[in-house]
Amino acid sequence: MKIAIFGLGYVGFTAACCLAHDGHEVIGIDVNADKVSEINAGHPPIKEPQVGELLTEALGKGLIRAVSEISDLSDVDLAIVCVGTPSSTDGSHNMSYVAEVTRQIAEAVSPDRARPLTVAYRSTFRPGTVNQLVAPIFRSALGDRFEAAVEVVYNPEFLREATAVQDFFAPPKIVVGTRDGKLSQVMDLMHEGLDAPVFYTAYEEAEITKFVDNTWHAVKVAFANEIGRVCHKMDVSAKKVHEIFVSDTKLNISPYYTRPGGAFGGSCLPKDVRALQHISSEIGAHTHLIDSLLRTNEAHKTSQAQDIMARLPADGRVLMVGLAFKAETDDLRESPNVDIARRLLQGGYQLSVYDPEIEPADLRGQNLGYAFTHLPTVGTLLVDKATAEAGPWDLVVASNRIIEGLDLGTAEIMRTYEYD
């Protein structure tokens, strides 16, 4: 393919060299004339392992060149936008470079192309940017011919500096956002030969991917450093603790506990987080991330309770399926479902609960104390399977997978244990 890359920073220049290595003809466009001259002379504008060798190889084969502007995209198959989105003073992304490049591409593309020009954006976008900023610019310039002339794609990159070339050829995943979530032949050709899971989505899911990934990386770094401070101040080997922690790929380093859904609860997590907060406070470790965990968990329970109430009429009849913090247990200690049930009762709603594992007479010790302290009417709320299935209910709140064992007909179901 013939590929034009707008923006020759770390992402754009690395992509240019790697795509030329794959045999594509690449034109790099950057407003910095000095950078353009350096590239054409064989001097990489960035310090990054392997790009120098790839640039020399591509120049030798005549597969790469850099220019300051391009006015004709008639023979280009794919345009990749890699311009910067720096932070504005309020923390939002400055999208002026993206808007300007989009305008330039819109003016350079012919509305009468035999096949659409695929324009792939790799700059980090907030969800909605393609539909609310990029598409209107193209539509303004091309009118009714927009969708016939341009295929807009959002294709986030996952390159780490110092390993960018390696990451380009061995990405952790490939994410492609398209107008209808369907395949793009041009993007499939660009990614041909790469061994990675591929996800085609609508624009918004692809756009938020980098935010989720990078914020999670930041959480991991902050968490690791807070644990490191605690260990350091207690003369505990943080290195050994880390070795033990990452050895657990079943729970610690795994998909577990990362699915968006219900708040955490039970006898372990809240108790142990509070204890670690206390330890940290005593020794002056200042673990602000850990200190925020219980607050954000409470905020999540409040949010879910509000979402439930918003879907109920006044005095509505609601069935909660699952009261314990997890299916197939009767542990009610700090179950977020107990807290949500209490809020529903306080709101005047007619609440019933189906949880076949809970028998009030069998509750013991702290489990008994917590249940009757926070939900003293629990015994009167419980219903059997026949009653649960008979209804009618204004809303069924499924708090765990017990719902899969019920036949609720056409009842409206809200699953709080997972987000769709």
Active site residues: 268
What is the layout of strands, in order, in the sheet containing 198-201? 64-67, 25-29, 2-6, 78-81, 117-121, 150-154, 174-177, 198-201
CA atoms lying within 13 Å on the CB side of residue 209: 22
CA pair distance 58, 352, nearest whole angstrom: 69
Strand 174-177 and strand 317-321: pairing? unpaired
Helices then strands, counting H and E runs in the chain, come out as 17, 12
53 vs 330: CA distance, rounded Å = 62
User: How far from each other are the two terminal CA atoms of the chain, in whole angstroms?
Assistant: 38
Q: Tell me the CA distances in angstroms from 32 to 40, 59, 180, 287, one per residue in order.
A: 13, 19, 36, 43
- In sequence order, what are the residues at sequence separation of 6 or more whose Cβ sits closer than 8 angstroms to the Cβ of residue 368? none
Q: Is the peptide bond before 392 cis (omega within 30 degrees of 0)?
A: yes
